[in-house]
């Protein structure tokens, strides 16, 4: 596991570049603040486990004047832009360059949080920067790393993987039923190690039958999602992070998670329901244990039409939340 990189507070630049606030509109920010609010009344500590460009953190610091926030992100550019955006809040904000499954180590450094927010998936910063290689609509090298300082790129993954491994990645992480056909086109390509985003998108399109291409948006969407998840170990990190986050929360603390596809939401739902359910056997008249969490969202919250119109990225969001009642089962 990589080390936590040094906490940073970056001063705002005076240049004319577009700011993080200009680039990014946080998804369901008011909903998230309402869910977090009871845990953030008075002096409190929030971990924004997926800082991105700082939109949710800015809203929290503005609404809760006694709040401190530790923002965690593995993308150095996100840390830089968010820190510029949040500079007016001074030492109420601290950034940590780390994967968010290191949340237990970050809690040892900064203290146990009263609340944790996770806004999963790829950020607007990464999608909008063509050079990062996340978008199939703009041609660029196939990178897809959220932390460009380490790890193998999507191009390297494609070059080094067998047909079977590529098919598994595309099928499992992209839920793509034509995964084997797509993998075959990739491994048969004479220059697969140097495919660009646009070339890969065209290759995927050629592998999918014309009838299947007529619905569901860009046919490369699921393959790009799959490669991105594999390159960044997104589901593995989430699987590790959720139980660690629940463990470090203070009693009375709240965990709020925004997911953007079924694979993420399934992991979050299973973890929250598991820690909120009684283990008392059916038919036993007296409850034998007290679950350490309670669900705040019986069903996932979704964006309404107005939110989707204002912020199209919110169309697929699912928000789940839970509250910590005590430290462990009893």
Percent of the chain with pLDDT over 70: 88
Walk me through the domains of the chain, giving residue ranges and CATH numbers: 20-125+234-324 (3.40.50.150), 132-232 (1.10.150.170)
Q: pLDDT band for 8, please (50, 70, 90 cuts).
A: very low
Q: pLDDT band for 132, please (50, 70, 90 cuts).
A: confident
Q: pLDDT band for 281, please (50, 70, 90 cuts).
A: low
Q: Which residue has the higher pLDDT, 220 or 217?
A: 220
Residue 282: CA atoms inside 13 Å, Cβ hemisphere, count? 0
d(CA 186, CA 171): 14
The mean pLDDT of 159-171, rounded to a whole number, is 97
Question: For residues 212-245, b (16+ Cβ closer than 10 Å) or e, as one string?
Answer: eeeeeeebbebbbbbbbbbbbebbebbebbbebb
Q: Which residue has the higher pLDDT, 13 or 210?
A: 210
Least confident of 19-28, 131-140, 187-196, 265-274: 19-28
The mean pLDDT of 318-324, rounded to a whole number, is 98
First to last CA, the chain: 33
If one counts every other C-beta atom within 10 angstroms of the C-beta of residue 127, the result is 15
Per-residue pLDDT, 213: 82
Does 111 count as an annotated binding residue?
A: no
The mean pLDDT of 250-258, rounded to a whole number, is 98
Cα 178 → chain centroid: 26
Least confident of 132-141, 158-167, 302-311: 132-141
Per-residue pLDDT, 329: 57
Does 73 count as an annotated binding residue?
A: yes
Does 273 count as an annotated binding residue?
A: no
d(CA 66, CA 131): 39
Per-residue pLDDT, 330: 46
Please say if the pLDDT value at position 11 is more than 50: no
d(CA 145, CA 132): 7
What pLDDT digit, counting tens, does each position of 22-73 carry?
546 789 999 999 999 999 999 999 999 999 999 999 999 999 999 999 999 9
User: pTM for the whole thing?
Assistant: 0.88
The mean pLDDT of 311-328, rounded to a whole number, is 92
Q: pLDDT band for 145, please (50, 70, 90 cuts).
A: very high
Does 100 count as an annotated binding residue?
A: yes
Please say if the pLDDT value at position 6 is more than 50: no
Per-residue pLDDT, 7: 40
Question: Could you tell me the maximum CA-CA distance found in the chain, to the nearest angstrom?
Answer: 67
CA nearest 266: which of 295, 242, 231? 242
Per-residue pLDDT, 148: 86
Does 54 count as an annotated binding residue?
A: yes
Q: pLDDT band for 278, please (50, 70, 90 cuts).
A: confident
């Amino acid at each position: 596991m990589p080390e936590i990189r040094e906490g940073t507070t970056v001063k705002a630049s005076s240049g004319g570049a577009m700011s993080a606030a200009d680039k990014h509109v946080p998804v369901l920010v008011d909903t998230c603040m309402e869910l977090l609010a009871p845990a953030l009344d008075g002096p409190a500590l929030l971990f924004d486990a997926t800082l991105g460009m700082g939109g949710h953190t800015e809203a929290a610091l503005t609404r809760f004047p006694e709040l401190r926030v530790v923002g965690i992100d593995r993308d150095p550019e996100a840390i830089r832009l968010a820190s510029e955006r949040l500079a007016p809040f001074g030492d109420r904000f601290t950034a940590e360059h780390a994967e968010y499954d290191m949340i237990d180590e970050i809690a040892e450094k900064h203290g146990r949080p009263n609340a944790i927010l996770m806004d999963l998936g790829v950020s607007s910063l990464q999608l909008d920067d063509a050079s990062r290689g996340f978008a199939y609509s703009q041609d660029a090298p196939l990178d897809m790393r959220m932390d460009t300082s380490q790890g193998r790129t999507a191009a390297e993954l494609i070059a080094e993987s067998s047909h079977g491994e590529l098919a598994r990645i595309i099928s499992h992480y992209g839920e793509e039923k034509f995964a084997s056909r797509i993998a075959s086109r990739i491994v048969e390509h004479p220059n697969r190690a140097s495919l660009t985003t646009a070339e890969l998108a065209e290759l995927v399109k050629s592998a999918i039958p014309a009838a299947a291409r007529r619905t569901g948006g860009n046919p490369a969407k699921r393959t790009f999602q799959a490669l991105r998840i594999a390159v960044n170990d997104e589901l593995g990190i989430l699987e590790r992070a959720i139980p660690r986050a629940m463990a470090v929360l203070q009693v009375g603390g709240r965990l709020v998670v925004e997911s953007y596809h079924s694979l993420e939401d399934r992991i979050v739902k299973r973890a929250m329901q598991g820690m909120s359910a009684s283990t008392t056997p059916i038919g036993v008249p007296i409850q034998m244990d007290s679950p350490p969490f309670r669900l705040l969202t019986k069903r996932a919250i979704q964006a309404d039409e107005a939110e989707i119109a204002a912020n199209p990225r919110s169309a697929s969001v699912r928000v789940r939340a839970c509250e910590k009642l005590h430290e462990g089962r009893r």
